[in-house]
Structure 1
Amino acid sequence: MAIEQLPDGRWRVDVEPIKGKRFRKTVKTKAEAQRFEATKRAAMIQPTNWNPKPKDRRKLSELVQRWYDLHGHSITSGRRRTNTLLLMCQRLGDPLGTKLTGAHLVELRRRELEAGAVPKSINNRFTYLKAVFNELHRLGDIDYPNPLAKVKPLKFQERQLSYLTAKQIPQLLDALDSSRSSCVRLVAEVCLATGARWSEAQGLTRDLIRHQTVTFTNTKSKRLRVIPISQALEQRLTAYLDDHGRFTDCSRAFRIAVAHSGIALPRGQCSHVLRHTFASHFMMSGGNILTLKEILGHASLTMTMRYAHLSPSHLRDALKLNPLDGFDTSSTPATKPKKKNLKNQSGGATKP
């Protein structure tokens, strides 16, 4: 019997919730004895040190695959990102997920930098791997903290976005005319006219072109974008798609045409240069930055602000509020520059 009363009126508890684990205690009241028994039985149900949870023995590549099964399949670049992560697993030696540390990643990062990898690409891969642990932890698939939480991304000099000048645009179009691909120039013109990504323009179908607008559906942000185009471009697009059904993959043909055109572009900005060209010329012509954000489909204004410096009015205050404003700087160095008669904040003239 788990609880019994002694001759002196006290109560003895003798409980064995599991084989080999026995608890005994003498208390004054029966209620106290019942609480002690219930407490010990409940404690044995919970996983404690004597009944530990099995260790997670999954390798890093298995965690990446698990991330894809639970979450990665639902994002646009899920399969491509998974393949990138699996290559990272190989370079890291595919350790157990519980054994991975920030030092492993930093060491891999050092080797990639010495091999000439682009810092931005390294940061992207680091962000992908960090997101794997964050997502699995959020879903309860792992119970240990993110081992990469304290690793900081690389800091690098931001590259200037390249764009085609007014002279280079016809130069490129002439090179595209010489391409074997029948649709490469048309896809490039869509990108130049709308700021679309190459994959968005190449994915256009006949039903997405109507009333002098094109609708992009396969977008990175998962949002539809409807952009107006000229009547002439609409007629050429509909005529081609009526005859051929859809565009073929002509990205390689575009890269070859760019190489033949003689236009030098920074590494990694080949097909994206068309999108940069649209955005740059839009801002240089006095376009609104918020309108550009909607046209490009950026999720945040931060991305669009990369083109803000091209606006004619951007930071023009630097011309009139700099400390040299008001000085006659046309004199020779041997001559002391004369400052013009300026009004101070109180309305009086400043002394020369």
Structure 2
Amino acid sequence: MIKKLASGRWQVDIQPGGRGQKRVRKSFDSKTDAQRFERWALTQHDAGTLVPHLKKDRRTLLELTKVWYLSHGKYLRDGERRYRHLKRMAEAFGNPVAAKLTANAYLVYRALRTEKGISPKTSNNELGYLNAVFSELHRTGEISFQNPFRNIRPISIQEREMGYLEVDQIKAIFAELRERTTNPHALLVARVSLETGARWSEAESLTLDKVKPYRVTYDQTKSGKKRSVPISKDLHKAIKQHLEQWGTFGTSTISAFRRAVDRSGIKLPKGQCAHILRHTFASHFMMNGGNILALQKILGHSSITMTMRYAHLAPDHLEEAVSLNPVSNADFW
């Protein structure tokens, strides 16, 4: 039975085994949560696992993150990396009993991290990781209590400057790659990124079977979805010959690229070296009259919101401000 209490909360009051069996009482903030718990408790009883699950959950944060990793996290592309972050956070919290965690505990943790110089973006990522753990475990019935951090808002971050290279800067960096870089792959990986808008890791992971006349297919993407991008005949020939000789582009080519940028003397916005060629492709694509929806598909953005960061570079961006303002067609002045 589910009933509303005078306090406004909703109480589940059931005896899954029938009259004379163990009685279960638990209250929730919403009727939906109460109904979900009732269904879960009855299912657990039918499976013969009711009693252990209805005891107070004494598992620590580390124990729950391990449960999350084994049941869900290890199947994510960045699951191992997330798990490492989660273990470090659990230890920083003092590895408390997870069911006793509160929103305030996280806010104190975030404040201390901020004092140590952790960026707002990193703090928001950490909050996202914790929310994902509790939400997934609650969704699957592994825990019966709510995510304690569900109502915490991420830190508002001012949109940072989106840098891109001018043509003369592109020439300067590629001259460094061509003439003074010993890494045999960095020049071509940089060219692939610049000509197709690929992330550096996507360009670096290209294999011969993903290169067709005249397109490349990226399958090691951030979203996990494949995408194909047309390429010129000249680039197709260069990639094909290189991979036939070397097999792969190797790894750590980004270090060679960073050194080439440093030698060129070009100053890039902080933290954008690895993405500068991708931003440059997108920026010049829009400045040359490209379509924003086509750009979204080329870059592989799941949301147009991400791609709209480049919209202001279009030649006709917001021209209607001149032609459609209140006095544009009137002899007002």
Q: TM-score, normalised by structure 2?
A: 0.81
Alignment coverage as a number of residue pairs: 291
Helix, strand or coil at the partner of 1:260: helix
Cα gap change, 1:152/1:282 in structure 2, threshold over 3 Å: closer, same or farther? same
Q: Percent identity?
A: 45
Matched, 1:110 2:86: no
Report 1:279-294 matches (<5 A). Answer: 279-294=282-297
Counterpart secondary structure, 1:42: coil
In 1, the alpha carbon distance for the partners of 2:19 and 2:316 equals 70
Aligned to 1:6: none
Matched, 1:210 2:212: yes
Task: Establish whether residue 45 from structure 1 lines up as the match of residue 47 from structure 2.
Answer: no
Q: Name the counterpart of 2:174.
A: 173
* C-alpha spacing 1:207/1:46, structure 2 compared with 1 (3 Å): same
Task: Note closer, same or farther for the CA distance 1:270–1:47 as it changes in structure 2 (3 Å cut).
Answer: farther
Query: Which consecutive unaligned segments of at least 5 residues does structure 1 have?
Result: 1-38, 327-341, 344-348
Q: Which residue of 1 aligns with 2:272?
A: 269
Tell me if 1:61 matches 2:59. Answer: no
Tell me by how many angstroms 1:115 deviates. 2.4
2:235 maps to 1:233: yes
- Measured after TM superposition, the shift of residue 167 of structure 1 is 1.6
Aligned residue in 2 for 1:96 = 97
Deviation at residue 92 of structure 1 after TM alignment: 2.0
Q: Which residue of 2 aligns with 1:251?
A: 254
Shift of residue 68, structure 1, vs aligned partner:
1.4
**Which of the two has higher C-alpha Rg?**
1
Structure 2 gaps of 5+ residues are 1-14, 26-50
Mapped partners of 1:322, 1:79: distance in 2: 54
Deviations 1:44-97 (A, max 9, x none): 334436x89222222212222211111112221111121122222222222221
| Structure 1 residues 41 and 180, CA gap change in structure 2 (3 angstroms) | closer
Q: Partners in 2 of 1:228 and 1:167 — Cα distance? A: 25
Aligned to 2:10: none
Superposition pairs for residues 1-352 of structure 1, below 5 Å? 42-48=18-24, 53-177=54-178, 178-249=180-251, 250-320=253-323, 343=330, 350=332
Secondary structure, counterpart of 1:215 in structure 2? strand
Question: How much has 1:142 moved relative to structure 2?
Answer: 0.7
- In the TM superposition, what whole-angstrom CA distance separates every residue of 1:3-32 from its partner, at most 9, and x where no partner exists? xxxxxxxxxxxxxxxxxxxxxxxxxxxxxx
What displacement does 1:41 show?
7.3
**Partners of 2:61 and 2:90 within 8 A in 1:** yes
Asked whether the equivalents of residues 161 and 269 of structure 2 are also in contact (C-alpha less than 8 Å), the reply is: no
Q: TM-score scaled to structure 1, two decimals?
A: 0.77
The alpha carbon displacement at 1:111 in A equals 2.1
The structure with higher relative contact order (CA 8 Å, sep 6+) is 2
Distance 1:163 1:44, change over 3 A: farther
Amino acid paired to 2:191: E
